Amino acid sequence: MLNYGIYTRKSDDDRSVTEKSIREQLAECERLVERNNLKVVRTWEESRSARYPNRRTGYRELIAAIEVGEVQGIVCWHVNRLVRNMEEGGKLAQLLIEGTLKEIQTPSAIYRTGDNIMPLVIEAASATQFSLDHAKAVSRGLEGSFRSGGCTNKAPQGYRNVRDPLNLKRGLIEKDPERFDVVRRAWELLLHSGCTLKHVTRTMNSSWGFRTRPTRNAGNRPLSYSGAYFMFTNPFYAGFVHRKGELVKGNHEPMVTVGEFERVQANLKRGSFVAPRVKEYAYTGLMRCAHCGQQITGEVKRLRDGRLWENYHCSDANLKCTKKGLSRERVERLIFSELAQLEVEPSLLDVAKENILRHMENSSGGTETILQSQQAELEECEKRLRRLSDMWLDGVMTDPERYRELEARELARKREITIEMERLTQEVRTSKANLSRSIMFLKSARSAIEGADSRVKKQIFKALATSYVFDGHAKTITTTVHPLLTEMVSYARSLKGLEPQKIGSGSKRKLPRAEAVFVGGDSKLGLGLIAQLHTPFEYDSTSSQQ
């Protein structure tokens, strides 16, 4: 009497479906064993793909048991559960031919030594071909999803994979409600605080209690340093999806702008983050010394009457400058005087906003022309890639190194155009937001300072000016107010006495120089305003009110 082994396999990664399928296979095999009164010595259950040879531990154990004579027959649901590649299919057929394997029984067929081997070979070849066809279909589906902006990989931290409720076969990417805001705060920390990547990672894990998204085999752990580096260099967070060297605009909601993403990449490559301080003073990191250019630092001293006195002076790391400084109250008073000079009647700011918005709408044609030109260039890149692929497939090009070199060059150009198009699109989309934020700053910054904590004040002062030059000898601070704010104030004041409705697109009155920033001009002046002027101010002032 032969000794049989039962083998069941399912390649689906969904555990619930896998276990159900294996149970059903096992039930069929047990009914077959009972009906034919077979002796089963061992059962193998496996959840692995059989497309590639020598990757299934259970199948290798089955073949080893057959070769040593422990098992002479196999019971399985179908031959394609045993093999889906010709290497393992050929070996299985050879064992049956040699008589080492006496018999394979399935609910629909029996294959024995000495019988016609063609049915088994045909079944194995059909299973292999099905696997190849299925792989091509899956690849086509992934390529189509990628081209339309879908993510074909596991969602990074802060996002999660979900199924489309209207089509369960279609995957979607949505914000992870438990982690999206935490990851966004980490980006803010890298962008605005000058922290190192390791410090940000420790803050996420220790202070904020961040844990990675749980998965079937891992997850729910603190974020590793390498995981953090991968996260902050992933263009997915800027709104792109990546596959096989190509980059396209994704359908998901980006967490950061292209400008913010590139600023973080530059900082990571440069490695010039400022180390975090043990004690954070209110206005350190804002000012530089007028004599040596070093940063201004703070210190606290206890006076004889017991009061604490906070003083600011040159850090004087080279011991060639002065330690003479200003008290915190004097620093605030000098900076407040600059802020007071920006006060404008709110009605004039509203009129200025209307004029600039109207001018933006009239100027949008140039941006559309640039985008159309870039789109045409992107299509040309895609055509060149298709022609290159056709030349390789047709045998016109036979040098693999030359092919890879040309393909890499075209893919790099395509990525460059894609990013530039998204950058321009974001500039157009955020220009109006920049305008609104500058108006909001001018209207509310003064009142927001009253009663605010030091952190909020520092953020407001960072938005106010591009530089603060501290002179310890003269007891002065020279402030360079942000040009966007000065031009806006100047333009709004020039409108005094004019009726809002009278100022249309045909007005001869000159728009502020900062208007060029609003309509996507010089990015060095104002596109960083999203991060520098409004976002920290709005976030911090809101949290302080709570």
Instruction: Encode pLDDT of 191-228 as tens digits.
Output: 876 678 888 888 889 888 899 888 777 778 898 988 88
pLDDT bucket at 533, cuts 50 / 70 / 90: very low
CA angle 512, 517, 518 (to 5 degrees): 85
Q: Does 14 have pLDDT greater than 60?
A: no
| pLDDT at 364 (0 to 100) | 58
Confidence band for 270, pLDDT divided at 50, 70 and 90: low
Share of the chain above pLDDT 90, in %: 11
What are the boundaries of each domain within the chain? Answer: 3-145, 159-270, 287-335, 346-545
Fold annotation for 159-270: Hect, E3 ligase catalytic domain fold (3.90.1750)
Q: Where are the alpha helices (DSSP H) in 148-209?
A: 180-192, 197-202
Mean pLDDT within 321-342: 85
Give the per-residue pLDDT at 530.
29
Residues in the chain: 546
Give pLDDT, residue 427.
72
Look at residue 316 and tell me whether its pLDDT is greater than 90.
no
Give the dihedral of Cα atoms 81, 86, 87, 93; nearest 10 deg.
70
Q: Which of 75-89, 117-131, 270-284 has the highest mean pLDDT?
A: 75-89
Q: What average pLDDT does this structure show over 79-91?
A: 89
Confidence of residue 39 (pLDDT cuts 50, 70, 90): very high
pLDDT given at position 103: 93
pLDDT above 60 (res 230): yes
The average confidence (pLDDT) of the chain is: 78
Q: What is the pLDDT of residue 194?
A: 65
Predicted local confidence at residue 243, as pLDDT: 77
Q: Residue 273: pLDDT above 60?
A: no
Average pLDDT over residues 313-318: 83
Q: What is the pLDDT of residue 546?
A: 33
Residue 425 in tokens? 């699109």
Question: Ramachandran region of residue 69, left (φ > 0), alpha (ψ -120 to 50) or beta?
Answer: left
Amino acid 151: pLDDT? 75
* Most confident option among 17-21, 311-315, 432-436: 311-315
Classify residue 253 by its DSSP letter.
P
Residue 313 has pLDDT above 80, yes or no: yes
CA distance 476 to 535: 29
What does the pLDDT look like over 257-267, one tens digit per residue? Answer: 888 888 888 87
Return the higher-pLDDT residue of 403 and 537.
403
Q: What percent of the chain has pLDDT over 70?
A: 84
- The predicted-structure confidence for 334-357, as pLDDT tens digits, reads as follows 888 887 888 878 888 888 777 777
47-51, 369-373, 442-446, 530-534: least confidently modelled range: 530-534
What's the mean pLDDT in 145-150? 72
CATH classification (class only), 3-145: alpha beta
**What's the pTM?**
0.47
500: pLDDT strictly greater than 60 = no
Query: What type of residue sits at position 345?
Result: E
Is the pLDDT score of 518 beyond 50?
no
Confidence of residue 31 (pLDDT cuts 50, 70, 90): very high
pLDDT at 494: 80
* Cβ-contact 47, 35 below 8 angstroms: no
| pLDDT top residue among 521 and 112 | 112
Q: Picking from 438-442, 493-497, 524-528, which range would have the lowest pLDDT averaged per residue?
A: 524-528
3-state helix, strand, coil split of the chain in percent (to 5) is 55, 15, 30
Which tokens belong to 173?
């990417």
pLDDT-based confidence at residue 72 (cuts at 50, 70, 90): very high
Name the token pair of 427. Answer: 């500039």
Query: Furthest-apart CA pair in the chain: how many Å?
Result: 108
d(CA 440, CA 352): 13
User: Which band of pLDDT confidence, cut at 50, 70 and 90, is reported for residue 529?
Assistant: very low
Mean pLDDT score, 17-32: 79
Residue type, 103: E
Q: How far is CA 298 from CA 153, 276, 310, 328, 331, in A?
A: 48, 14, 7, 9, 11
